[in-house]
A = this chain, B = another copy of it.
């Protein structure tokens, strides 16, 4: 992991250099309580007292942290300057900013981690923002704070080869779990039992969860199961059911997020075959539209209009989100221009981003047929990271 942190920290310095700001400042405290999602790109572990991690446009990395927090950062060797303090961070932080930002810069900009659009760029709490403002008051940095959103989404989105390898490994583990689920899921097995089975395997293999364990995997057996982010129920699998699984694991710090479906029986009815064709077709329409420079909403629209043309209602979510250290990794999404997505559907697709393509339909009397795969954006368009489910699988 240490090499990866260094790789991303160097990438961060390159992004800051091109961003127009003088310094990117990550300001945290007691990270076991509130954990800024940027932190793993800057250091391993966490901090206890107020700490400021600074990356300047010149590429200099300076950490100002509580004196009990210095040892871990020292050990990493990643920081050009490491300043410990006992009573207050204010003076050493101001000294560090003075050193990094030439007096000749008339209106210096310091980027901090907040965003209305993207929770992954929004690790700075309001109390910490107010503290920082109070430290900078009556200095030449009094009006310097701007959003680091553009820096962070570039850093998270542009995956390095190490990150892509880790995600491929997570996908391999997820496919293995899907195979095991198919062998385990007999008639009368409950959603809860399937989830428990998967949890045991995840623990046994030392994998992590790409989202909270309570709803991971999501398991839906048949037409009476509640679709959404809810815990698996006592509903049991029966002939004629669709079994739907949404599962994501973490391997080497990186996540997968995939959905697969099975029909319980030898002969899938026409309604299920038709649903599968529509879902797969819509996902492939999205895949075809995905390339650098397009806006996320355009990719969503390609899939959404395919599905509607096939006679199904629109899905009530985005076609895809980026995947990285967690399943919902932030940055631009492939989604409709709904208020709740803020600006994220308007952001351009970039090379190196990893997206899910996911959607589903209810099949009256059978259940929920929904598929999800992962792709990486290339110069030419997109490449599948996972292998799409092209057939109606049967149990």
- Chain A residues proximal to chain B, CB less than 8 Å: 29-37, 44-46, 48-50, 66-72, 75, 85-90, 112, 114-131, 134, 147, 211-212, 214-215, 226-231, 316-317, 326-328, 330, 338-340
Contact of A72 among B67, B88, B147, B230 (CB under 8 A): B230
Known: A34-B34, A69-B228, A86-B338. 7 other contacts (CB 8 A): A33-B119, A34-B36, A71-B228, A72-B229, A75-B230, A86-B316, A126-B129
A212 and B72 in contact, given A122-B128, A125-B126, A339-B88 (Cβ under 8 angstroms)? no
| CB-based contact B338/A72 at 8 Å | no
| CB-based contact A34/B32 at 8 Å | no
A129 to B125, CA, bound (A): 9
Report copies per complex: 2
Chain B residues positioned under 8 Å from A50 (CB to CB): 340
Chain B residues positioned under 8 Å from A48 (CB to CB): 229, 328
Taking the closest CB of chain B, its distance from the CB of A223, in whole angstroms, is 16
| CB-based contact B326/A32 at 8 Å | yes
| CB-based contact B33/A37 at 8 Å | yes
Contact of A212 among B46, B114, B134, B228 (CB under 8 A): B46
Chain B residues positioned under 8 Å from A228 (CB to CB): 67-71
| CB-based contact B130/A116 at 8 Å | yes
A34 and B37 in contact, given A212-B45, A228-B68, A316-B86 (Cβ under 8 angstroms)? yes
Chain B residues positioned under 8 Å from A120 (CB to CB): 33
| CB-based contact A35/B32 at 8 Å | no
10 residue pairs from A and B, CB less than 8 Å apart = A33-B119, A34-B122, A45-B214, A46-B214, A68-B316, A70-B228, A71-B228, A72-B215, A75-B230, A116-B130
Chain B residues positioned under 8 Å from A46 (CB to CB): 212, 214
Q: Report the 10 A-B pairs with minimum CB-CB distance, sorted nearest first.
A: A71-B230, A88-B339, A68-B228, A122-B127, A114-B126, A126-B129, A30-B119, A114-B127, A122-B125, A87-B338
| CB-based contact B126/A88 at 8 Å | no
Chain B residues positioned under 8 Å from A116 (CB to CB): 127-128, 130-131, 134
Taking the closest CB of chain B, its distance from the CB of A228, in whole angstroms, is 4
Q: Most chain-B CB neighbours within 10 Å: which of A68, A89, A326?
A: A68
A179 to B211, CA, bound (A): 36
Chain B residues positioned under 8 Å from A114 (CB to CB): 125-127, 130
Residue of B nearest to A30 (CB): B119
A44 to B115, CA, bound (A): 26
A340 and B49 in contact, given A72-B230, A229-B69, A230-B71 (Cβ under 8 angstroms)? yes
Taking the closest CB of chain B, its distance from the CB of A382, in whole angstroms, is 24
Contact of A125 among B29, B69, B71, B123 (CB under 8 A): B123
A68 and B212 in contact, given A119-B33, A123-B34 (Cβ under 8 angstroms)? no
Taking the closest CB of chain B, its distance from the CB of A147, in whole angstroms, is 8
Residue of B nearest to A36 (CB): B34
A117 to B33, CA, bound (A): 14
